[in-house]
Structure 1
Amino acid sequence: MDVFSLGRLLWLALGECRGHYPLLNASAHQAMAEDLRGRPSIKAVKRALEFYLKPHLPPASLSLLHGSAAFLL
């Protein structure tokens, strides 16, 4: 997965927490929305990304995604 794809995935995940993209199932969407309500902290974003996206990403990609979250927030 390249950097562009990771960035797009991050934006989809952040959009999902605000209800803009149906990336996750309904219960995961609700939980992620609660975790990231309002202006989320970097720690909250990292925790949500790890919990909801970790099963779908290799470890190196998850680390890059964490770095992207810190940079974008």
Structure 2
Amino acid sequence: MTGFAIALLFGSAFVAAAWTLYASIRPQLPRFAELLLPASALPALPPRLSRVTVRAVPARLPTRKQLRAAA
């Protein structure tokens, strides 16, 4: 009987802790759902923002001018 009471006590404490954790996370669940949606569900960018220009990277870095000692 004592074992049953201890199991009931710890079980109810576990259920209370789990419910408190769920109740604290529940308001944030829509934000998590937005993060987990596929990227195609996101709104498309306007055409002027969707264009990306890529500049050619120079093959060699430009040489810096040599520093001269102050006179």
- Same fold, TM exceeding 0.5? no
TM-score normalized by the length of structure 1: 0.24
Give the structure with the higher percent helix: 1
Taking structure 2 as the reference length, what is the TM-score of the superposition? Answer: 0.25
Give the number of the structure with larger relative contact order, counting CA–CA contacts within 8 Å between residues 6 or more apart: 1
